[in-house]
Amino acid sequence: MIMVENLSVHYPDTKVEALTNINVSFNKGDFVCVLGKSGAGKSTFIRCINGLQKPTGGEIYIDDQRVSTLKEEQLRKVRREMGMVFQHFSLIPRLSVQQNILTGTFGYRSSFKNMIGYFTANELELAKRVISSVGLTEMANRRVEYLSGGQKQRVGIARALMQQPKILLGDEPVASLDPGTSNHIFTLLKEMHERLKLLTIINVHDVDLAKRYATRIIAFKNGHLIYDGSPEDFNDKEYYETYESEQQNSFFSM
C-alpha cells in the first residue's frame, strides 16, 4: 500500500539530515507506532508520506503510484484518502464540532462550495454518524474552543474519518494529553482502525502505548531507521538503542 525507497530529507539551511536512505513498506491492516527521540525524524517521515514535506532524495509509492511524478490533481486525490490527526488539534476554535468535522470533506468538493459552507444531506448525515462514533453527539453544536483536550482530539479524529480514508496518520496525537486520556484516544484509534480496515501510522513518545496497541513498531534515531518489528520484540536493548541513556532505570522493569 505504501512503499518507501531510499527516502532522504536534508534541510538546506542546516547540516542536519532529517532522514537518510529510509526503506520500508506498509500494508493495509498494519497499525504502526513510530518511536524515537525528539528530532529523530518521526515527524519528517509522516510529513513526507502525506505530502507536507518534499523529500530531497528517494521515492514514495502509494498504491503503486509514484508520488513525485503525480500532477497536482492526482496528488490531491491521493491526499484526500489520507486522514491526518495532529498533536495540537489544528481545529478552528470559533466553529462548532460539526463544522470542524465537515471540513474533512473539503478534498472532495469544489472551492466554491467550501467557501460558502454548503453541505449536502448525505454529507451532513455522514458527519452525524462520525460524531456519534467518537462519542460527541451531545456536543455537535458546541464551539470547539470550549472543549477539553481529549474532546478536541476526538474532533480531530472525526474530521480525519470524514475523509473516508484508506490511510490514517497521526503526528504525536496524544503528546499533550494526560495518560488516561491518551489511553482512551488510542483505544478509539484502534477501534476505528479495525472497523474500517485501515493502514494506520502514528508517531508516539509513549513506548507503553506503542507496545499495547501497535501490530508493528518502527523506530528512528538521528534520521536512520533502526528498528522494524513486532511490539513483543521491542525490549530493553531496542529501547536503549532508540533512546540512549535518557532514563537510567530499565523501562521494562518498572
pLDDT reading at 251 higher than 70 = no
The pLDDT, as a whole number, for residue 176 is 86
Q: Summarize pLDDT for 156-203 with one digit per residue, the tens.
A: 999 999 999 999 999 999 988 999 999 999 999 999 999 999 999 999
Stretch 222-240: mean pLDDT: 96
pLDDT reading at 44 higher than 90 = yes
Q: Summarize pLDDT for 5-39 with one digit per residue, the tens.
A: 999 999 877 777 899 999 999 999 999 999 999 98
What percent of the chain shows pLDDT beyond 70? 96
What's the rounded Cα separation, in Å, for the pair 81 and 100? Answer: 18
Reported confidence tier of residue 107, pLDDT bands at 50, 70, 90: confident
Reported confidence tier of residue 253, pLDDT bands at 50, 70, 90: very low
pLDDT reading at 206 higher than 70 = yes
* CB-facing half-sphere around the CA of 63: CA atoms within 13 A: 12
Beta pairing, strands 2-10 & 57-62: antiparallel
Reported confidence tier of residue 52, pLDDT bands at 50, 70, 90: confident
The pLDDT mean for the chain works out to 90
Q: Summarize pLDDT for 119-165 with one digit per residue, the tens.
A: 889 999 999 999 999 999 999 999 999 999 999 999 999 999 999 99
Stretch 37-65: mean pLDDT: 92
Of 2, 6, 61, residue with least CA distance to 29: 2
If you search the block for the grid coordinates 523529500, which residue do you land on?
55
The pLDDT, as a whole number, for residue 245 is 54
Grid coordinates given for 184: 482512551
The pLDDT, as a whole number, for residue 59 is 95
The pLDDT, as a whole number, for residue 250 is 45
The pLDDT, as a whole number, for residue 247 is 46
Of 19, 22, 20, 29, residue with least CA distance to 3: 22
Reported confidence tier of residue 116, pLDDT bands at 50, 70, 90: confident
pLDDT reading at 109 higher than 90 = no
Stretch 62-89: mean pLDDT: 87
Reported confidence tier of residue 92, pLDDT bands at 50, 70, 90: very high
Question: Long-range contacts for 221-228 (Cβ within 8 Å, ≥24 apart)?
Answer: 221/36, 221/37, 221/40, 222/40, 222/41, 223/9, 223/16, 223/17, 223/18, 223/19, 223/20, 223/40, 223/41, 223/44, 224/20, 224/21, 224/22, 224/41, 225/22, 225/23, 225/24, 227/35, 228/24
